[in-house]
């Protein structure tokens, strides 16, 4: 795939929380000692009284955030996806989601985007783990502009626990800064009548490229950005069942319990079409270039196109 100009979605997070802090002094950042990596430095400099670094102590950070939320604050706990979804999972469940507190878990290094950092830093299970917890909202923005808008929406207009997944490395621009986003509402990038492709996060750009190739071949493609995995936009999935002959889900996440599973649950309840899931093949990553990791798991433009062709036959 050709390189396309873009930025890491973690950069958008860093800018969005500053914008939130300027409008609401109840916005806090609880940093787990990785502010440089997660882009909280500008917030720390601008609002030092609203910034707390707990050190490498994610569970404590989550507990502190829960306490802040009981006092009317809007804390963003900031760490890596592997730690934010698993190391502090018990605290998220017991101290944040069970009492339904207004805490945001903002995590960089989602999926394979840490690449050469290896399996220990590649958060490939996070979305599935957290979507199983009651009261939790789970969001995976696809590019810089959507990440900026969704972080602001989560902090300004949306009450309750939210998990936000960002990328370490640059991902291509898909949207403009004028595009609008609603938590829980899929973004329809194109309408079509043959096949539906549903994706999110860093993989959406590959689905755009696959859609273009399929359209050139005479195939009509409905393309959805399902940035919110929970609550999933059920109506958008039902529309896809009604309008097209099959659904392909594509994600930078374990094939089990991620976006593909969420879509398949709806399809299994109502019937009407086939689903094919493209994603990480229930295996850990490794230290390797990002593109190589995707290829090893068949998360490629070629495979998306070939899968669509097979489904339509």
Positions marked catalytic: 58
CA 147 – CA 30 distance, rounded (Å): 19
Q: Work out whether strand 74-80 and strand 104-108 pair parallel, antiparallel, or are unpaired.
A: parallel
What is the phi/psi pair of residue 73, to 5°? -85, 165
Q: Decide if 282 contacts 255 (C-beta within 8 A).
A: yes
Encoded tokens for 135: 């009261």
Q: Work out whether strand 221-225 and strand 195-199 pair parallel, antiparallel, or are unpaired.
A: parallel
Other C-beta atoms closer than 10 Å to the C-beta of 140 total 34
C-alpha separations of 289 from 46, 113, 114, 118, 252 in Å: 35, 9, 9, 10, 14
CA 194 – CA 120 distance, rounded (Å): 40
C-alpha separations of 172 from 2, 142, 156, 270, 276 in Å: 10, 9, 26, 35, 25
Rg of the chain (C-alpha set): 19
CA 297 – CA 292 distance, rounded (Å): 9
CA 79 – CA 107 distance, rounded (Å): 5
Strand partners, 275: 247
């Amino acid at each position: 795939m050709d390189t396309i100009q873009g930025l890491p979605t973690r950069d958008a997070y860093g800018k969005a929380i500053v914008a939130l802090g300027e409008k609401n002094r109840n916005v806090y950042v609880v940093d787990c000692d990785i502010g440089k990596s997660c882009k909280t430095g500008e917030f720390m400099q601008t609002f030092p009284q609203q910034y707390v670094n707990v050190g490498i102590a994610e569970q404590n950070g989550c507990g502190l955030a829960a306490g802040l939320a009981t006092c009317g604050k809007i804390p963003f706990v900031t760490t890596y996806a592997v730690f934010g979804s698993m190391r502090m999972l018990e605290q998220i469940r017991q101290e944040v989601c069970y009492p339904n507190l207004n805490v945001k878990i903002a995590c960089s290094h989602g999926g394979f985007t840490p690449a050469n950092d290896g399996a220990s830093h590649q958060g490939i299970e996070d979305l599935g783990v957290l979507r199983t917890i009651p009261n939790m909202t789970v969001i995976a923005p696809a590019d810089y502009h959507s990440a900026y808008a969704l972080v602001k929406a989560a902090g300004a207009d949306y009450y309750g626990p939210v998990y936000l997944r960002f990328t370490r490395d640059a991902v291509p621009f898909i949207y403009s800064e004028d595009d609008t986003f609603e938590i829980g509402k899929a973004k329809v990038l194109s309408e079509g009548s043959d096949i539906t492709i549903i994706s999110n996060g860093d993989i959406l750009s590959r689905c755009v490229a696959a859609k273009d190739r399929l359209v050139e071949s005479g195939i009509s493609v409905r393309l959805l950005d399902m940035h919110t995995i929970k609550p999933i936009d059920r109506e958008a999935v039902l529309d896809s069942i009604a309008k097209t002959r099959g659904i392909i889900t594509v994600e930078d996440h374990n094939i089990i319990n991620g976006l593909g599973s969420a879509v398949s649950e709806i399809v299994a309840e109502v019937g009407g079409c086939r689903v094919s899931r493209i994603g990480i093949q229930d295996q850990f990553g490794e230290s390797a270039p990002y593109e190589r990791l995707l290829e090893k798991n068949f998360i490629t433009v070629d495979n998306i196109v070939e899968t669509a062709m097979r489904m339509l036959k």
